Amino acid sequence: GYFMQFREGHTFFDRWYAHSENPTRPTVKISVEQARLFTRQIEAALEKRGMLYHAVGHGWTCEAFGVPGLGWDPVIQDWPGEVANSLALVNGRRMMWNDIPLITSLCFSNANVRQKVIDCIVDYVQSHRNIQALHFWLDDGFNNKCECAECQKMRPSDYYVILLNELDDTLTQLGYPGKIVFLSYADLLWPPEHRRIQNPDRFIMMFAPITRSYRRPLFPKDLEYKLPPFVRNRLIFSNNNDEQLAFLRSWQALFPGDSFIYDYHLWRPGTYTCDPDALFLARLLSSDIKNLKQLGLNGMVSCQLQRIFFPTGLAMYVMGRTLWNADLEFDALLDEYFSASFGPEWQLCKFYLQSLSALQDVVPILEKDLVQHPQAETQLEQGLAVIQQFLPVIERNLKLPEHSQALSWFYLRVHAELMQQFLCMLSARAAGKKEEAARRWNEIKTFVREKEDEIQPVFDVYAFISTFERAFREEAG
Torsion, CA 413, CA 414, CA 415, CA 418, rounded to 10: 130
For the CA atoms of the chain, what is the radius of gyration?
A: 24
State residue 374's pLDDT score: 67
Contact present, 271 and 306 (Cβ < 8 Å) = no
> Is the predicted pLDDT of residue 382 greater than 50, yes or no?
yes
Q: What is the three-class DSSP state of 152? A: helix
* Burial tier of 406 (Cβ tally within 10 Å: 0-12, 13-18, 19+): middle
> Is the predicted pLDDT of residue 369 greater than 50, yes or no?
no
Contact present, 308 and 266 (Cβ < 8 Å) = yes
> Is the predicted pLDDT of residue 271 greater than 70, yes or no?
no
User: Per residue in 98-114, pLDDT tens?
Assistant: 999 999 999 999 999 99
Angstrom CA distances, 105 to 6, 123, 141, stand at 17, 21, 7
Q: Which CATH architecture has domain 2-338?
A: Alpha-Beta Barrel (3.20)
**Helices within 367-402 (DSSP H only):** 376-396
Question: 10 Å Cβ neighbour count for 81?
Answer: 8
DSSP state of 97: G
User: Which residue from 201, 144, 209 is spatially nearest to 183, judged by alpha carbons?
Assistant: 209
Q: CA torsion sign, 184 to 187 to 190 to 193?
A: negative
User: Which one has a higher pLDDT value, 237 or 270?
Assistant: 237
User: Per residue in 127-153, pLDDT tens?
Assistant: 999 999 999 999 999 999 999 999 999
Q: Residue ranges per domain, the chain?
A: 2-338, 340-476
* Helix (H) or strand (E) run with residue 183 in it: strand 179-184
Q: What is the three-class DSSP state of 113? A: helix
User: Per residue in 149-183, pLDDT tens?
Assistant: 999 999 999 999 999 999 999 999 999 999 999 99
User: Per residue in 231-243, pLDDT tens?
Assistant: 999 999 999 999 9
| Residue partners of 155: CB distance under 8 A and separation at least 6 | 190, 191, 192, 193, 230
User: Across residues 6-12, what is the average pLDDT?
Assistant: 94
Question: What is the C-alpha separation between 214 and 285, in angstroms, rounded?
Answer: 9
Angstrom CA distances, 272 to 85, 173, 183, 312, 357, stand at 46, 51, 30, 10, 11
State residue 242's pLDDT score: 94
What's the one-letter identity of residue 13?
F
State residue 361's pLDDT score: 65
DSSP state of 9: -
User: Across residues 265-270, what is the average pLDDT?
Assistant: 74
State residue 376's pLDDT score: 78
Question: What is the C-alpha separation between 298 and 261, in angstroms, rounded?
Answer: 8
User: Which one has a higher pLDDT value, 365 or 341?
Assistant: 341
The model's confidence at residue 214, banded by pLDDT at 50, 70 and 90, is confident
**DSSP for 275-334, written as a single string:** -TTS-HHHHHHHHHHHHTTTTT---EEE---S-B-SS--HHHHHHHHHHH-TT--HHHHH
State residue 223's pLDDT score: 73
pTM to 2 decimals? 0.94
**Helices within 49-155 (DSSP H only):** 60-63, 81-86, 111-126
CA end-to-end span of the chain: 40
For β-strands 93-94 and 89-90, DSSP reports them as: antiparallel
What's the one-letter identity of residue 357?
S
**DSSP for 18-45, written as a single string:** H-TT-TTS---PPPHHHHHHHHHHHHHH
Distance of CA 114 to the CA centre of its chain: 28
User: Across residues 62-82, what is the average pLDDT?
Assistant: 89
User: Per residue in 390-406, pLDDT tens?
Assistant: 999 999 999 999 999 99
Report whether the peptide linkage leading into residue 311 is cis, meaning its omega lies within 30 degrees of zero.
yes
